[in-house]
Amino acid sequence: MSTEQFNPFAIAQQQIDQAAEKLELDDATHELLRWPMRELKATLPVKMDDGSTRIYHAFRIRYNTARGPAKGGVRWHPLETMDTVRALAAWMTWKTAVVDLPLGGGKGGVVCNPKELSEMEKERLARAYVRAMAGSIGVTKDVPAPDVYTTPQIMAWMMDEYETIVGENHPGVITGKPLALGGSKGRQDATARGGIYVTREAAAVGNIDLKGAPMAVQGFGNAGMNAALLGEEILGLKLVAASDSKGGVYNPKGISAAALVDHKIRSGAVKGFPGAEEITNEEILGLPVTVLFPAALENVIRADNAENLQCRICCELANGPTTPEADRILGEKGTIVLPDFLANAGGVTVSYFEQVQNAYNLYWELQEVHWRLDKRMTQAFESVHEMSLRNKIPLREAAYLVAIARVAEACKLRGWV
């Protein structure tokens, strides 16, 4: 239960180094991709409700914009560091590239504890952030979005501040806004839906019949609940188990996803669902299912339990649910692991759609959002799968290679390297 100190940016750089070696990137491209292209650090004075002034430190990083304006969230966290933001900005660069969005990667952060801030103070902080970053963000430069502890309301304040500064209507400067201010339909289930589409594609190439096949969802939060509902609706999967922080439920004959979602909303937990046997979070991983959706936490699939997994497809809706060692074990077992930054890229894709709709000032119906998301995710899977076959490497590595190759190509075409 101790917390190992690690530097996320060092890990991100290692991943680039490994990919660069596989792709045989030249030194200059490799070096360019190892570092953020632009970093901005700002000091924000913010008036508090009691009349005092507090000083907050803020960051915004445009990691790479060779493929388009930077895209990435703004995190509000008391332990925020420049290196965390750098690493996350790098991962955003690969994520937008793997789904082939015409965007780069970026990230921002404010060192603050939102649990200590009133709504008024949050608003003043959001506006202060935009004032400091106004010269650097914009629809053609860098488009922030919600992230850890930043909400659609905060995005709305940020957008309003930006528009006040530039004196024009620019809803696309921020995504993740409330619907009434130019948010996109379909954002709520976008992450899960994207995961469902790539699962469908993975099953097709793996000759896995999903009709009536059992699925389990570990982590029955927003993404997990939607994965269960959409898995049933789109893929014809049968939900047999689901769990959350308070435990899990299992019924090999099947559980109605809609009924379980209803039960969870009413009671706050999946346990106690009628007709299902109770199981632990650990047990759910080892169930005989075709598809497993780890949708909650990091490092739940580890070397000590990876052998127990019986699923054919493991679709990582959570960030980093599988440790590297477990990844290797699953690879050896022949489990198809859909890596997180491909499987959960549906969210950023719909954020991109929001930008597009804002630019056109024309808003799509839900069906159109779904159709376009399907197309993007399917194409992304195909590219990654093709890379995987060509190089005989797991999908996770293939996804990195696809993404980094795309960014490298853009840098080359621009004549940067």
Q: Does 392 qualify as catalytic in the annotation?
A: no
Contacts of 37 (CB under 8 A, 6+ apart): 62, 63, 64, 65
Q: Is 248 helix (H, G, I), strand (E, B) or coil?
A: strand
Dist CA 74 CA 150 (whole Å): 7
Contact (Cβ atoms closer than 8 angstroms) between residue 353 and residue 190: no
Q: Binding of other proteins at residue 144 (CB under 8 A)?
A: no
CB 399 → other proteins: shortest distance, Å?
26
Q: Binding of other proteins at residue 246 (CB under 8 A)?
A: yes
Rule CB under 8 A: choose which of 15, 18, 136, 151 binds other proteins.
151
Footprint of other proteins on 43-72 (CB under 8 A)? 49
By beta-carbon proximity to other proteins, the closer residue of 137 and 190 is 190
Considering only CA atoms, which of 134, 181, 187 is closest in space to residue 156? 181
Q: Binding of other proteins at residue 265 (CB under 8 A)?
A: yes
Dist CA 285 CA 312 (whole Å): 12
Q: Binding of other proteins at residue 185 (CB under 8 A)?
A: yes
Q: Binding of other proteins at residue 256 (CB under 8 A)?
A: no
Q: Binding of other proteins at residue 178 (CB under 8 A)?
A: yes
Considering only CA atoms, which of 415, 391, 384, 353 is closest in space to residue 95? 384
Contact (Cβ atoms closer than 8 angstroms) between residue 43 and residue 56: yes
Task: Kindly report the number of other CB atoms within 10 A of residue 332's CB atom.
Answer: 10
- Given 107, 122, 185, 238, the catalytic residue: 107
Q: Binding of other proteins at residue 212 (CB under 8 A)?
A: no
Contact (Cβ atoms closer than 8 angstroms) between residue 352 and residue 329: no
Rule CB under 8 A: choose which of 76, 197, 341, 364 binds other proteins.
76
Q: Binding of other proteins at residue 267 (CB under 8 A)?
A: yes
Q: Which ranges in 60-173 belong to alpha helices (H)?
A: 82-98, 119-133, 152-166
User: Which residues does residue 378 pair with via DSSP β-bridges, in sequence order?
Assistant: none
Footprint of other proteins on 1-20 (CB under 8 A)? 1-3
Q: Binding of other proteins at residue 251 (CB under 8 A)?
A: no
Rule CB under 8 A: choose which of 86, 187, 376, 396 binds other proteins.
187
* Among the residue ranges 37-45, 93-101, 292-300, 332-340, the one whose residues contact other proteins (CB under 8 A): 292-300
Structure tokens at 194: 């994207």
Which residues of this protein are in contact with other proteins, per CB under 8 A?
A: 1-3, 49, 76, 79, 113-119, 146, 149, 151-153, 176, 178-179, 183, 185, 187-188, 221-222, 245-247, 265-269, 271, 278-282, 296-297, 300
Catalytic residues: 107
